Amino acid sequence: MAKTAEEKMNEKLEKEYYKKHKRMYRLSASDIVFSIINYAVFFIFTFSCIFPFYYIFIQTISDPSLVASGAIRFYPRGLTISNYVNILHENQIISAFVVSVARTLIGTTLMVLASGLIGYLVTQDKMWKKKLWYRFMVITMYFNAGTIPWVMNMRLLGLEGNFLAYIIPGIVSPYNIILVKTYIESIPAELEESAFIDGAGYMTVFRKIIWPLCKPILATIAIFGAVGHWNSFTDSLMLMTAPEAQKYHTLQHVLYNYLVRNQRVDTSAGGSVQTVSAAVKYTCSMVTIIPILIVYPFMQKYFQKGIMLGAVKG
Partner 1 sequence: MEKKTGKEKVSGVLYIIQRIAALLGVCAIFFPTFNPSYIFTVVDGNPMNNTTSLFTAAISTSGIMSDGIVSGISRNLLEAGSFTTLRVACILLLLGVIAAGVGACMSVGNKTMKQVSHLVSIGGAVLLIVGGVIIINIGNNVESIVKVEESGETTDSVYQVTLAEETDADTWTSDATTMLSQCENDVYRITIANNSGKSMEGWALQIHVGADYDMSNYIGINRKFSILYDRNNYVDYEFNVELEGEYLVVTPGNYTMEEGELTLDESASGNYISTIDAGTLTLTLIMDGISADTEVIVTDGARAQNMAWIFPTCVYIYIALAVIVIVTSLVNAVLIGKAPAGEHMHMETEYQLFIMFLPFILLIFAFSYLPLYGWRFTFVWDETKSITAEGNFAGTHWFTVLFADSAFRKLFLNVMKNTLGLSFLGLFTSWLPMVFAVFLNEVKNSKFKGFVTTFSTIPNFISWVLVYSIAFAIFSADGLVSNLLGINHNYLQDSTHLWLKMWAWGTWKGIGWSAIIYISGIAGIDQQLYEAASIDGAGRFQRMWSITLPCLLPTFVVMLVMSVAGILSNGMDQYLMFSNAQTIDDLNVLDLYVYNLVFDGGGQVPLSTVVGMGKSIVSIILFFIANSAAKAIRGNGIV
**Residue 169 in the binding site for partner 1 (CB under 8 A):** yes
| Helix 215-231, helix 278-313: angle, nearest 10 | 140
Coil, helix or strand at residue 187: coil
In this complex, which beta carbon is closest to partner 1, that of residue 102 or of residue 237?
237
State in angstroms the smallest separation of the CB of 18 from partner 1: 10
- 265-284 residues in contact with partner 1 (CB under 8 A) are 265, 267-269, 272-274, 278, 281-282
The sign of the torsion formed by the CA atoms of 85, 91, 95, 97 equals negative
**Residue 298 in the binding site for partner 1 (CB under 8 A):** no
Say how far apart CA 43 and CA 78 lie, in whole Å.
30
Cβ neighbourhood burial of 291 (10 Å; 0-12, 13-18, 19+): middle
- 39-98 residues in contact with partner 1 (CB under 8 A) are 39, 41-43, 45-46, 48-50, 52-53, 55-56, 59, 70, 73
State in angstroms the smallest separation of the CB of 209 from partner 1: 16
In this complex, which beta carbon is closest to partner 1, that of residue 81 or of residue 145?
145
* Single residue of 101, 106, 114, 213 touching partner 1 by CB under 8 A: 114
Give the total residue count for the chain: 314
Site string for partner 1, 14-43 (x = CB under 8 A): ----------x------x--xx--xx-xxx
Say how far apart CA 224 and CA 247 lie, in whole Å.
26
The stretch among 76-84, 98-106, 187-195, 262-270 that binds partner 1 (CB under 8 A) is 262-270
Q: What are phi and psi of 267, to 5 degrees?
A: -75, -25
State in angstroms the smallest separation of the CB of 2 from partner 1: 13
* Single residue of 232, 235, 248, 279 touching partner 1 by CB under 8 A: 232
Say how far apart CA 225 and CA 309 lie, in whole Å.
15
The stretch among 81-89, 93-101, 186-194, 256-264 that binds partner 1 (CB under 8 A) is 256-264
**Residue 241 in the binding site for partner 1 (CB under 8 A):** yes
Number of residues that bind partner 1 (CB under 8 A): 111
Helices (H), the chain: 5-20, 22-25, 29-61, 64-68, 82-87, 91-121, 130-138, 147-156, 164-167, 174-185, 189-197, 202-205, 211-213, 215-231, 234-239, 251-256, 262-268, 278-313
* Single residue of 116, 119, 161, 225 touching partner 1 by CB under 8 A: 161
